[in-house]
Structures are given as structure tokens and as C-alpha cells.
Amino acid sequence: MSAHISWDLPVPFTVVFDVQPDDIDAYDHVNNTVYLRWIDAIAWAHSDAAGMTTAYCQSIGKGFAVHRHEIDYLRSAHLGDRVHVSTWIVKMDGKLRSDRRFQIVREQTGETLVRARTEYICTDLKSGRPTRIPDPFKTAYRVDPRIQEAVLASEQ
């Protein structure tokens, strides 16, 4: 049975994960590193869906690298839970930086378990140095106006 899920922002990109035995730590709940793994997995999945695949990024020698993660662990997931992990691009400066938000929700109860934010820096894949965002990235990672409006409303 699924509960109603209330997303923090409109039009989420979502992937569903079932909690696995290897996700559980000594306290019988999902280890904090697993949430980070899910956040990373959905960012890659969303990039792939936007056409910014690893192969494409390698071919042009540029990609987004994590600059900063901020994760709020609100509740624990447990073995047998199914979680919906969603992401939104909330900022794209068109020069160097892009920001995403994430929300992880337990399907069975609709409870938000985790909220996270990640700041990315466009990086030259050979040198590891920051570089200007290429035009295809600006298009693929543009902020949906509905998301932008909701973010602005939540910050007031």
C-alpha cells in the first residue's frame, strides 16, 4: 500500500529504491552513506535522462563535480521500506555552478526521510579545474519555471 507523497517542489524526477539487507547498519536502519549513494544515483540518472550521459561528458571533457553536499536526516528507513528519491535542478548560473535539491520519501507512509542540497561546479575532466558551463549543459540543466517559482515562494 502506498501513501500519498507530498513533494517539496513540483515536477520531480524520481527513482524508486527498495531497502536491501546490505543497506542496514548496526542500529537496524539504513546507514547514512546509503542515502548519499541514492542521491548520487538519482543525479546520474537525471543527467542521463537529460542527455548528459557519462560518455557524452567524457567526449567533451567537461562535467559537473560535487562542490558541497548538505543533508538533513529526518527519519530512518528500514529493511522492507520502498523509498522514492526525487531531485530538482533549482539553480543554474550559466557560468560555473548548478544546484540540486533532493527529497527521499518512504512510500508506505509518505514521510519525508531526507532532504538534501548539492552544489555542483562545472569541471574540466582532465585538469580537475573549474571551467565555464558549455551551452548543451545550460539547455539540459535549465531550471523549470515551475520549480523556480516554488523555490522563490519557499524562500519568502
- C-beta of residue 35 within 8 angstroms of C-beta of residue 71: yes
- Helix residue ranges per DSSP H, the chain: 32-49, 54-60, 135-140, 145-154
Rounded mean pLDDT of 12-27?
A: 98
Q: Residue 154 — very low, low, confident or very high, per pLDDT cuts 50/70/90?
A: confident
Kindly give the pairing relationship between strand 82-92 and strand 62-73. unpaired
- CATH number for the domain whose boundaries are 13-154: 3.10.129.10
pTM: 0.95
Q: What is the per-residue pLDDT across 58-92, written as a single tens digit (0 to 9) for each?
A: 999 999 999 999 999 999 999 999 999 999 999 99
Q: What is the per-residue pLDDT across 30-62, written as a single tens digit (0 to 9) for each?
A: 999 999 999 999 999 999 999 999 999 999 999
Q: Which of 60, 10, 19 lies closest to 37 in space, CA to CA? A: 19
